[in-house]
Amino acid sequence: MSLLVVGTVAFDEIETSLGKTGRILGGAGTYVGLSASHLISDIRMSAVVGGDFPQKYLNLFAGRGLDIQGIDVIPDQKTFYWSGRYHDNMNQRDTLATELNVLAGFDPVLPEEYRDSRFLMLGNLTPSIQRKVIEQMNERPKLICMDTMNFWMDTAWKDLLDVVSMVDILAVNEEEARQLSGKHSLVQAARKIQTMGPPCVIVKRGEHGALLFYEDQKFYAPAMPLDDVVDPTGAGDSFAGGFMGYLCKHDDISFESMKNALIFGAALASFSVEKFGTERLLEITDEDIQERLVDFVKLVSFSL
Amino acid sequence: MSLLVVGTVAFDEIETSLGKTGRILGGAGTYVGLSASHLISDIRMSAVVGGDFPQKYLNLFAGRGLDIQGIDVIPDQKTFYWSGRYHDNMNQRDTLATELNVLAGFDPVLPEEYRDSRFLMLGNLTPSIQRKVIEQMNERPKLICMDTMNFWMDTAWKDLLDVVSMVDILAVNEEEARQLSGKHSLVQAARKIQTMGPPCVIVKRGEHGALLFYEDQKFYAPAMPLDDVVDPTGAGDSFAGGFMGYLCKHDDISFESMKNALIFGAALASFSVEKFGTERLLEITDEDIQERLVDFVKLVSFSL
């Protein structure tokens, strides 16, 4: 099955107590695509970059099997840039700089070949743009998952509700789930969000894992406790990539399938944070992933 | 098997966004004992209360099968009193008042009948007192679990290390694990604490569950996502009570047994927070617990 990933492809510059990167490859779309590429081969990328975006990164995507014809290059503009510094606890970060650049005008026109994609991952973008992507599909994808953030709740509430009503899965963090629903209890928050449209809600909890609310059932995928978290950037997007990659590979969107998909997502996320940027995602093998999955099984298995 | 519980029996006064209690029954020992009483019948309580402690609470303990001969009543003094107010998120609280009263002089002399207890739960107390309890045992219990808090790391470091070196399990929260070990990563923190003595470390993470480090293995017990958390007071102690109750009931301290014990602990904790104080712990039935355990199995089961 095919997966369409719409999201940012960017430059990141990251500082943690363990070190400082220069300008490296980043962006939600990047992490989703590279993570999913460990599971499936038909991944279509929709994004925009500037003339400063190195050809080597595009080659890297293509080398991982990603279809890059939907990555628009705007020669006389600059690529989206984000810079941040993590606190020692790695759970908080300060944004040092955000330069939207090409992203300010991102309004993707999907290549014809993308419009039959069966799975669609909408990264965090302007809600009206997310909606326009959905409307360009030839037929409604089998599954649409979307990310969003508080900013859109503050600035584009109606547009956001509009697109939320069109998707199958909303994947957000705790704070976002609470703001969107007005409920503190995650159980109540998920129930409220389900009334807005999506039958499935994923609450991403960082180092505490993720909760899936699937109609009236729920499932908890832990995060793997690690010796060292080097760089949390992109963990949530790596998680989404592993999750969508699994569903797409098996062409199965049942609750049982989603549980496994969450564990794959958690596994990919656990690798992603072990090194700066996308480095670890790019070096892991199928064997590494299998070993990590076994670790996850061990981590939560009991026999009452 | 027998479980000796040494810990506070107290008055609590609790305020949350959902309401305000008067002076109600509280204390770590109380929650541990009442929680464990759902699993085992031979529970010996060691604590101290003042002349103001109502006989009805002692009757309540006895009615739940707890041995109360080790609860000293000091007629001319007052019972330990704690009052706190929870923030809306229920994860933070402000202490409004702490009156040690009888607790300031707590130096338990164990009844002879307690000294052969096979399982020992040392609630958070002055480390030197915890040590004196261990030294009063006729023979070394099969399993000793202890709780502690940052305060003792700041004020009684050497005494704390002393008692930590004598126990099998240290059960602390994330912040405490980090302070004790000087490590941020919980994996590294647990490994460091293991070098101090205990082969097992339990990191209690509140609404995110608990992590067990057992020699070089680890296990994650989630917390049950609930519709409403009414009062988090005593959740960690209810958890400890369910955990120790299970181990004691099965007289099995293997890793496999501890995993099940953690799930029992998480189940009891999940009930505890559903109403103020000990109310819910006192009303639940075996059937309620079985149902909740099934919910836990469902929450984390997948079949990769």
Q: Which residues lie closer than 8 Å to A177 by C-beta, 6 or more apart?
A: A186, A189, A190, A193, A201, A203
pLDDT on residue B129: 97
Q: In what order do the strands lie in the sheet with A19-26?
A: A19-26, A10-16, A81-86, A93-99
**Cβ of residue A92 closer than 8 Å to a chain B Cβ:** no
Give the residue from chain A lying closest to B228, CA to CA. A185
Q: How far is CA B269 from the centre of its chain?
A: 10
pTM over 0.90: yes
pLDDT on residue A90: 83
- The Cα A38–Cα A147 span in angstroms is 21
pLDDT on residue A304: 87
Tens-place pLDDT, residues A123-176 = 999 999 999 999 999 999 999 999 999 999 999 999 999 999 999 999 999 999
**Cβ of residue A256 closer than 8 Å to a chain B Cβ:** yes
Give the residue from chain B lying closest to A258, CA to CA. B302
Q: Which of B188, B225, B293 sits opposite A186 (nearest CB)?
A: B225
Residues of chain B where predicted confidence (pLDDT) is lower than 50: none
Give me the DSSP letters along A169-226: EEEEEHHHHHHHHT-SSHHHHHHHHHHTS-SEEEEE-GGG-EEEEETTEEEEEPPPP-
CA–CA distances in Å: residue B93 to residues A46, A214, B87, B232, B235: 46, 32, 6, 10, 14
Confidence of residue A43 (pLDDT cuts 50, 70, 90): very high
Q: Which residues lie closer than 8 Å to A43 by C-beta, 6 or more apart?
A: A2, A3, A5, A33, A36, A37, A65, A66, A67
Residue reference for tokens 């079949």: B303
- Contact predicate B205/B229, CB 8 Å: no
**Cβ of residue B92 closer than 8 Å to a chain A Cβ:** no
**Cβ of residue A192 closer than 8 Å to a chain B Cβ:** no
Tens-place pLDDT, residues A90-131 = 878 999 999 999 999 999 999 999 999 999 999 999 999 999
Q: Which residues lie closer than 8 Å to B161 by C-beta, 6 or more apart?
A: B196
Could you tell me which of B176, B166, B107 has the C-alpha nearest to residue B141? B166
**Residue B241 exposure: Cα atoms within 13 Å on the Cβ side:** 36
**Cβ of residue A259 closer than 8 Å to a chain B Cβ:** yes
Section A12-31 average pLDDT: 95
pLDDT on residue B115: 98
Q: Which residues lie closer than 8 Å to A95 by C-beta, 6 or more apart?
A: A82, A83, A84
**Cβ of residue B186 closer than 8 Å to a chain A Cβ:** yes
Interface contact flag, B185 A298, Cβ < 8 Å: no
Options 2.102.10.10, 1.10.150.20, 3.40.50.180, 3.40.1190.20; which CATH number does A3-300 get? 3.40.1190.20
Average pLDDT of the residues of chain A: 97
Neighbours of A171 (CB within 10 A): 29
Break chain A into its structural domains and give their ranges: 3-300
pLDDT at A74 over 90: yes
pLDDT at A250 over 90: yes
**Cβ of residue B304 closer than 8 Å to a chain A Cβ:** yes
DSSP H or E run through A49: strand A43-50
Give the residue from chain A lying closest to B293, CA to CA. A304
Average pLDDT of the residues of chain B: 97
pLDDT on residue A42: 98
Q: Strands A3-6 and A119-122, how do they pair?
A: parallel
Q: Which of B211, B222, B303 sits opposite A225 (nearest CB)?
A: B211
Give the residue from chain B lying closest to A17, CA to CA. B184
**The two three-digit tokens of residue A187, written as one number:** 């159980």
DSSP H or E run through A50: strand A43-50
Q: What is the ipTM of this complex?
A: 0.93
pLDDT on residue B91: 79
Tens-place pLDDT, residues A198-218 = 999 999 999 999 999 999 999
Section A24-51 average pLDDT: 98
How many residues can be counted in chain A? 304
Query: Could you give the 3-state DSSP secondary structure of residue B6?
Result: strand
